[in-house]
Chain A
């Protein structure tokens, strides 16, 4: 008796495509989330200009009874200029790919281009902040390095610095509720930091750190929010900036951006924030073989309140 198996009578077509695409690992994009958004008009030149009035001297000296006016003050302003820049990337796809591939290649390539563009916006903001914002080295940790690992006093210090500078907080706080294991959340600045520091934050549980899961109402937490310490709510991302082996003792140095409202502004130009461009093969060479898919965007960025932003540098508690 012979048994017919797939060895001698296999399927005519060996594979079939699973119905859903696998996910693409993508970092959370926190920098664009917290940036102010401004649109520069078309035909508006190359440079976006911000104006911030300066405070006048408060008239704290009484006029007296002489009937003489005090001298006039001259109003002053600060001007911040940022140059617009253009970015773009794309793919050239042969028509045979479009014709023969089973999956919707144009659809998923379009999606990837859009995500690449959004990630570029975020990375540009990230690196700009690394370059242009001043730094504070953490000193509240115990690892003896410079900067040290984060201690709760570092959160307190940076929040006090921004408060002293009269920065505006982002969030108004979450009132406590009668739920086990939860605690109220203070009005807060945001800290944009690395997912690699999450174990260090967990290590501060009980001494100031409150996990976002322990908020009285965690629907108030942002998707990337890991928790809070005092007046700082912590947003983590795997793309937060890290200077590898850069501390005094050669540990990795994490750039934790702590900021208030209007500290950083993202500028586009007249809706040029994104163009998805598809060109049919008709526009390629003599035989019209290749389609192109591309994205293009314009972006400038500026630190618009330098007193409301600090990069709190730290290392990890271990190696």
Chain B
């Protein structure tokens, strides 16, 4: 340990899912103590675990209780500790063969082998042709948030149960899915629209988390293929040249907002473009252009001046105006939800409500 080494510690309460820890460095040594599991020895509890960079991302060493319960040891080859450096956009995970996609809402994607995704991951897909003129190429390259339903299945928030979509089957050549490794580096970002509910206010459903807040000023880019072009910020028939914007009045969910635009008389949204329209098909988008907020981010009982949150996680850069454009680049490590190679019923990040204490190091030598 030399004077330029980095050390950090912290505590988190497990949700039962992988836990992301932000740090100003990528550690090369990590140790965790599951305080709850250590205090109440029970089979498959993992009170202690550690990782060294030489084990590679996803690896780890665990101490876990056997049936007695007595501590025993195991190693992890996947779902263990990993580090990340979320600095640059357009980075993707390995592409995986798509075996099939159903005609359904939401559409069910089945991969040819275990996908390894977690609910909340963002993916894009390519090559969604069943034949040269059928399939689902309309949704290629749209970022979708996934809901994992099995080792080889997940759903995407899009209605493919429409006339111009043909189910994919038998692992079409070139049909791939891959994970967007570092989404939301800058927030709020452009969101792709999967549905528009018109009315005296307008409810927008997006294909991935929009990261918008009440008071966000938004613009729309909806090509004519998709119907509701009256939402577009331009052209403006009343004041030619002056863009028309809406404001977010409610955030229904991570993928749904309500804006104050009366769209009662607007054309219905159409998410059923033809396959023939695909070369040059531009997807419908919603983007933030500003906000009307003037205060900081809401106080929630912790820091007096909290940092903005993006996709449910606190950014690392201190307070800002609610709704401002923020930088969400970040580094750190992930405590995975994987198990030991032998002790396959263990879970590294513990059970929901377990309290875990962690230490992370970046050593000079």
Contacts and interface: CB of A to CB of B under 8 A. Distances in A.
A149 B49 CA distance: 51
Interface stretch (B36-44, B110-118, B314-322, B352-360): B314-322
Contact of B221 (A54, A126, A134): A134
A79 interface: yes
Given A130-B89, A302-B325, 19 more contacts: A46-B319, A78-B245, A80-B291, A123-B88, A126-B89, A127-B90, A127-B186, A131-B185, A132-B190, A132-B287, A144-B279, A146-B140, A241-B89, A243-B92, A246-B90, A250-B126, A250-B127, A284-B3, A307-B219
A307 B234 contact: yes
Contacts of A250: 126-127, 174, 176
A67 B292 CA distance: 38
A47 B324 contact: yes
A243 B279 contact: no
Interface in B278-297: 278-283, 285, 287-293
Size bin of chain A's contact surface: 35 or more
Contacts of B3: 284-285
A49 B321 contact: yes
A200 interface: no
Contacts of A165: 234, 241, 243
Contacts of B325: 80-83, 128, 132, 300-303
Contact of B141 (A140, A144, A248): A248
Contacts of A85: 317, 326-327
Contacts of A285: 3
Nearest to A255: B90
A91 to B, nearest CB: 11
Contacts of A146: 137, 140-141, 278-281
A78 B92 CA distance: 35
Interface in B322-337: 323-327, 329
Contacts of B140: 146, 247-248
A137 B280 contact: yes
A306 B289 contact: yes
Give the interface SS of chain A, mostly helix, strand, loop or mixed. Answer: mixed
Nearest to B322: A81
B9 to A, nearest CB: 23
A285 B140 CA distance: 56
B233 interface: yes
16 contacts: A47-B320, A58-B239, A80-B290, A82-B326, A83-B308, A83-B327, A132-B186, A132-B190, A137-B283, A138-B280, A146-B140, A146-B278, A146-B280, A164-B234, A247-B140, A300-B325
Interface string B179-205: 000001111111000000000000000
A168 to B, nearest CB: 12
Interface string A50-89: 1000111110000000000000000000111111011000
A59 B25 CA distance: 59
A242 interface: yes
Interface in A14-41: none
A242 B187 CA distance: 20
A249 interface: yes
B155 to A, nearest CB: 21
What's the dominant secondary structure at chain B's contact region? loop
A262 B127 CA distance: 38
A148 B279 contact: yes
B288 A132 contact: yes
Given A46-B318, A166-B241, A82 B324 contact: yes
A314 to B, nearest CB: 10
A130 B127 contact: no
Identify which of B238, B279, B318, B326 gathers the most chain A CB atoms within 10 Å of its CB: B279
A132 B285 CA distance: 11
A139 B279 contact: yes
B242 interface: yes
Contacts of A135: 190, 282-283, 285
Contacts of B174: 249-250
Given A92-B4, A130-B89, A81 B176 contact: no
Contacts of B241: 55, 165-166
B252 interface: no
B279 A131 contact: no
Nearest to B186: A131
A85 B315 CA distance: 11
A114 interface: no
A81 B238 contact: no
Given A46-B320, A82-B325, A244 B92 contact: yes
A227 interface: no
B295 to A, nearest CB: 11
Interface string B256-273: 000000000000000000
A145 interface: yes
B298 interface: no
A14 B55 CA distance: 42
B239 A57 contact: yes
Nearest to B316: A85
A83 B318 CA distance: 9
